[in-house]
Amino acid sequence: MTAAAPLRLGTRASQLALTQSSHVADALTAATGVPVELVHVSTYGDRSMEAITQLGGTGVFVAALREALLRGEVDLAVHSYKDLPTAPAPGLTLAAVPPREDARDALVARDGLTLGELPAGARVGTGAPRRMAQLRALGLGLDVVPIRGNVDTRMARALGPDADLDAVVLARAGLARIDRLAAVTEVLDPLQVLPAPAQGALAVECRTEDSRVRELLAVLEDPATRACVAAERAVLAALEAGCSAPVAASAELAEDEHGAAELYLRASVTAIDGSDGIRGSLTGPAVEAEALGRQLAAELLDRGAAALMATPR
């Protein structure tokens, strides 16, 4: 009997992307017996050191992987879900959403300091406008500055011998995946800094026409994660915003008194200078995840979210 041909998994070449892709490849092989080989795909977002907002925001790390899929050069691709545009990609299917890592943000600071212990004027770096806006809105007098680079490069800005910052804020999920949690000085409470929609989640895509790969990837699916992410990204889509907008959303699942899955959704929009912000929340059936996201977005828009997102940067 001929062994199954390896599946080709397209991935960015950064340490975090390779680690995430390797986890997916290993899980897929363990569940199906089908070997998976990684294929490195270079993206413009990886090659450029411009800020995300200057690069064009959402999709800057995704386009090259999707093009490789559509050309048949790879059979599947793994993305950080929060990097995906909210609009579907013609010819491609989001075949699996694996179990999610902790979605919260994490502080890596000099001298083991927490956010509240940083002195006024402390320089804090982050690559996300959402984090910049929320950190400024805390009123701690921090000097929040934009940074780029991989996880270790960013951490070195606060901890290395040539450190020029007092702290950096990163996604806890990425630090966990590459075994850097020991450097975290505080995991940030979502009441202070609400995570990005889909933060901590992965998205596994393949060609819509490739029924074999779609069926194989189904073993990786986590329905709870997909429901939460669907609600969070519905907020983003209804606000017509992308990953470079100061929009945050976080969903959690629980059971109602009848044992049915219930979803609790929070979202916020914050002016990039931190001068104002709007938060809202609602609860509803998990089967209506996307509708709940649209409903919460409509509430935020009614309360002036569009004006906050348009605040000059």
> Would residue 80 count as lying in a domain?
yes
d(Cα 74, Cα 166) in Å, to the nearest integer? Answer: 42
**pLDDT at residue 45, as a whole number:** 53
> Would residue 1 count as lying in a domain?
no
Is 105 one of the annotated active-site residues of the chain? no
Residues 296 and 264 in one domain: yes
Instruction: Give the DSSP per-residue string, 143-163.
Output: EEEE--S-HHHHHHHHHSTT-
Residues 18 and 59 in one domain: yes
The predicted-structure confidence for 48-85, as pLDDT tens digits, reads as follows 445 444 444 446 679 999 999 999 999 999 999 999 99
135 CB neighbour count, 10 Å cutoff: 26
Q: What is the CATH number of the domain that holds 250?
A: 3.30.160.40
Residues 215 and 259 in one domain: no
> Would residue 46 count as lying in a domain?
yes
**pLDDT at residue 295, as a whole number:** 98
Mean of pLDDT values over 131-158: 95
d(Cα 313, Cα 311) in Å, to the nearest integer? Answer: 6
**pLDDT at residue 313, as a whole number:** 42
Structurally, the chain folds into a number of domains equal to 3
d(Cα 222, Cα 262) in Å, to the nearest integer? Answer: 16
Residues 42 and 119 in one domain: no
Residues 16 and 84 in one domain: yes
Residue 121 has pLDDT above 70, yes or no: yes
Residues 121 and 174 in one domain: yes
Q: What is the CATH number of the domain that holds 130?
A: 3.40.190.10
Residues 53 and 120 in one domain: no
Cα separations in angstroms, 267 against 6, 46, 143, 215: 41, 29, 25, 34
Q: Are 221 and 96 in contact (CB under 8 A)?
A: yes
> Would residue 196 count as lying in a domain?
no
> Would residue 2 count as lying in a domain?
no
Mean of pLDDT values over 209-218: 97
More confident residue, 160 or 132: 132
> Would residue 132 count as lying in a domain?
yes
Residues 93 and 119 in one domain: no
Residues 68 and 135 in one domain: no
Residues 243 and 122 in one domain: no
Mean of pLDDT values over 208-237: 97
More confident residue, 113 or 42: 113
> Would residue 74 count as lying in a domain?
yes
Instruction: Give the DSSP per-residue string, 171-224.
Output: EHHHHHHTT-GGG-SEEPPTTTSPPPTTTT-EEEEEETT-HHHHHHHGGG--HH
Mean of pLDDT values over 139-149: 94
> Would residue 299 count as lying in a domain?
yes
Residues 152 and 270 in one domain: no
Which domain range does residue 245 map to?
Answer: 228-309
One of 26, 46, 75, 83 is an active-site residue; which one? Answer: 83
Count, residues in the chain? 313
> 193 Cβ partners below 8 Å, 6+ apart?
105, 131, 134, 135, 169, 248
Task: Please state the pTM of the whole predicted model.
Answer: 0.89
Residues 117 and 92 in one domain: no
Please state whether beta strands 247-255 and 261-270 pair in parallel, antiparallel, or not at all (unpaired). antiparallel
**pLDDT at residue 54, as a whole number:** 46
Q: Are 168 and 186 in contact (CB under 8 A)?
A: no
